[in-house]
Chain A
Amino acid sequence: MMRFSLGSRLAQVLPTLFLVSIIVFGLQQLMPGDPALIIAGESAGDPQVVAQIRNELMLNRPIPVQYLHWLGDLLHGNLGYSWRLQEPVAALVAQKLPVTAQLAVMAFVFAVIIGVPMGILSAAKRNTAWDWLANGVGLFGLSIPTFWLGIVMILVVSVWLGWLPPSGYVPLTQNWVRSLATTVMPAFVLGNAIAAILMRHTRSAMLVALGQDYVRTARAKGLSEPVVVLRHALRNALIPVVTLGGLQLGTLLSGAVLTEQVFSVPGFGKLVVDAVFNRDYPVIQGVVLVTALLYVVLNLLTDLLYLLINPRMRQA
């Protein structure tokens, strides 16, 4: 059964990506603005220059022809070249994806470290000060705009206190300490809202689990409260939380866009935002395609994680 599910999931990947490629190619044609004008920059006033650029980029060809040309390159493993930077899109993706991945993982770790324990505490100490504190933190995380929080953190932490650099990025492989220093603030900002969501869902799931008969039985057998909560209730409560966590991890990849803009982190999100503003179609197409692939893979991994957490599901 497991092999059949995995196989059918894998078989869905290619059609999904094909559909995504058509949609993104079509949608970007609807964007107003001429890429040739943007590329020409301050020379956009010379019609010959603009015409030449349009010719070289095949922008004067019919859209289906442009798409087939791009698809043909893609099938040969070539994602094309950035019109603005003239670097291979694949190289840009390979360069930027680890940055966003690092940010997303750190944000997820923050979210889990903050959100899950607070959710457990809130459920276990329901209607106490701990519950209210956790709910307050949750409300803060959900309400505060990422952009605002980022700017305020830069002002307080970097400018006033001088504790961390305001922006930028250093790769982990170059200097792990400086890398963490440049990513801890954006990761916190990014993970903040997710922490709130995880907290709320963990709390709800725990309240349901703690109300079950097997928990009452565990208590009746004389097990300590921490053992009842963490070893018995939490295991079952984690199932919906893991689902949510998997979805949120995917959301983090797209949510990183705004955070990367604020903190000038040269990641995937910033790459695609700049590509949109500059009408750099090959980069937009490449990034969206890779993102779609990542979503598919993440959903697959989430399903596999279920099987690991709850042995009963392996028999399904």
Chain B
Amino acid sequence: MRRTFLAASAAAFLMACLLSGAVSRPAFAQTLRIGLREDPDILDPALSGSYVGRIVFASMCDKLFDYDSKLDLVPRLATGYEYKDPTHLVLHLRPGVRFQDGEKLDAAAVKYTLMRDLTLPGSLRKGEINAIGTIEVIDPLTVELVLKSPDAPLLSQLADRAGIIVAPEAAEQAGTKFGLHPVCAGPFRFVRRVPEQEIELQRFPGYWDAKSIHFARVVYEPIVNSAVRLANLQAGTLDLVEYIVPTDAPAVKKDPKLRLVMDDSLGYEGITFNTGHGPMAKSPIGESADLRRAFALSIDRKALIQVVYNGLFQPIAQADPPISPFYVPSIQPLPRDIGAAKKLVASSGFKPPIPVTMIVPNSPDLLQAAQVIQSMVQPAGFDLRIQAMEFASSLAAGRAGDFQAYMLAWSGRADADGNVYSFLHTGFGFNYGGFSDPVVDRLLDQTRLTTDIAKRRDTYGQLWVEERKEMPVLYLWALGNIVGMKKALTGFEQVPDGIIRLQGLEMAKSGGAN
């Protein structure tokens, strides 16, 4: 018995030594491991709808244009553009670019891809570039897009998934299976994917900007649980985590081996009120703009952000963050004023307590924020009831108009049109509250007619003044991009869209990416 026990102990000890050695990284050279907050969906640029999918595409598939940290449009596969007139956009392509399977990237490939985006069954890009009427190949490096009508946001779409150019032959051969093995013109080529486990990419030596790439492999690991994501970063099994939740930010800051990079993102958190969508719009807060303004005046955004997010986010009163060129500085959140809020409640004609039911997606920080709001609006006469809901269910409820108030975030777009048009224009898809104002509609349409950013910003300024009268959406704070990484990682450039770009990123020799 004693001998058996000793033998078992020795075996266990040996096994422990063996297993602990397995914490060391796999024997690949220069591999960058990136943690994602969720598993991407299909890796076909035309069919992908997930945010994290864009992060993987950034390493695999170059776009016609991109954004830099100041949200200026920069050339990528296209070196420049010009408008012959508001409905004729000419794109000039970069010479000498090859796809990862060796095909040449030329005007024909661009035409093929854009047509694919417009016509592929199930394409999620169609609505983004449907201003394109026809596509003309002028010469091998020049494409002309003939638009059905002027469309200022189009260029920003060509700096997103709609601007990813895929290898035509590979796409034709693969057909509907292209997303299982995509072929593009980015710095890394697709190697393999194990759903919900990892996506492995390998450096493409023929990449046109190869000198900016300093890793041989990149592996994306989806880890849904934020605490486990952080643990992986702290344990060194991940080199970078694309999103650190605000409550974990202090832990990353304290760790001498890690670095936290934080900046404004393009997204926002807000509350959408149902003012005209179905029977649920017939609520006091749905029917009275005075009550909605009173609700807004009852909230101290700064205090809310401090309590829930350690002060990491910025309060806003519009859909675009301060970093956006479309941000209107004169539109600021009003400070909390319970006296003024009470007066508005009194003038609304409704007697307090005003019952308001707010749907909140079931995440801990949002529920906490909702509870803070609940206590803030109560002195003004609101009886806020929080209805926690799983995200997919809340989305369905929002779309069906089955809500009075809905706390909803938007990931944000570089062009303000992507943050506003569909949310506030009469009859459009993200206008869950059924808001309708002909003045707002006219101003929104006007913003699309010119590419002059200053003029568009002025129009948005007028729009926000109008919007605040009715307040169909109460904008609370601009979201932030919070990226955690090993201190040894250098060259990281934070861009407000939150996409992790690998150009220029490298690990100091002692850093540990192996």
Interface residues of A, Cβ cutoff 8 Å to B: 31-34, 37-50, 52-53, 56, 82, 84-87, 92, 95-96, 151, 154-155, 158-159, 162-169, 175, 177-178, 180-182, 184, 226, 261-264, 266, 270-271, 274, 277-279
Contact = CB atoms under 8 A, between A and B. Distances in A.
B231 A158 contact: yes
Most A Cβ at <10 Å: residue of B19, B391, B422: B19
28 contacts: A33-B396, A34-B392, A37-B396, A41-B48, A41-B124, A42-B51, A42-B124, A44-B430, A46-B126, A46-B429, A50-B429, A52-B121, A82-B195, A155-B231, A159-B231, A163-B20, A165-B237, A166-B237, A167-B223, A167-B232, A177-B22, A181-B23, A261-B225, A262-B228, A266-B194, A266-B196, A271-B195, A277-B390
A130 B18 CA distance: 31
Interface in B35-49: 39, 41-42, 44, 47-49
Interface of B: 1, 15-16, 18-23, 26, 39, 41-42, 44, 47-51, 121-128, 176-177, 179-180, 194-198, 221-225, 227-228, 231-232, 234-237, 390-393, 395-397, 399, 411, 422-423, 428-430
A266 B42 CA distance: 17
Given A42-B51, A95-B194, 18 more contacts: A32-B396, A32-B397, A37-B396, A38-B392, A39-B41, A43-B49, A43-B125, A52-B122, A53-B122, A85-B195, A154-B231, A159-B235, A163-B19, A164-B23, A165-B22, A168-B232, A261-B225, A266-B196
B224 A264 contact: yes
Given A177-B22, A178-B26, A34 B121 contact: no
Contact of A168 (B39, B177, B237, B392): B237
A167 B231 contact: yes
Contacts of B225: 261-262, 264
Nearest to B397: A32
A52 B179 CA distance: 19
A106 B232 CA distance: 23
Contacts of A162: 20, 23, 235-236
Contact of B429 (A45, A178, A182): A45
B127 A264 contact: no
A274 B39 contact: yes
A164 B428 contact: no
Contact of B124 (A40, A95, A175): A40
Nearest to A278: B392
Most B Cβ at <10 Å: residue of A33, A53, A56, A84: A33
Contacts of B176: 86
A49 B123 CA distance: 7
Contacts of B392: 32-34, 37-38, 277-279
Contacts of A86: 42, 44, 47, 176-177, 179-180
Contact of A44 (B179, B197, B429): B429
B396 A166 contact: no
A39 B227 contact: no
Contacts of A48: 126-127
A261 B224 contact: yes
A167 B227 CA distance: 11
B22 A168 contact: no
Given A38-B392, A86-B176, A178-B22, A264 B221 contact: yes
A56 B122 contact: yes
A92 B20 contact: no
Contact of B41 (A33, A41, A46, A264): A41
Contacts of B194: 95, 266
A41 B50 contact: yes
Nearest to B33: A168
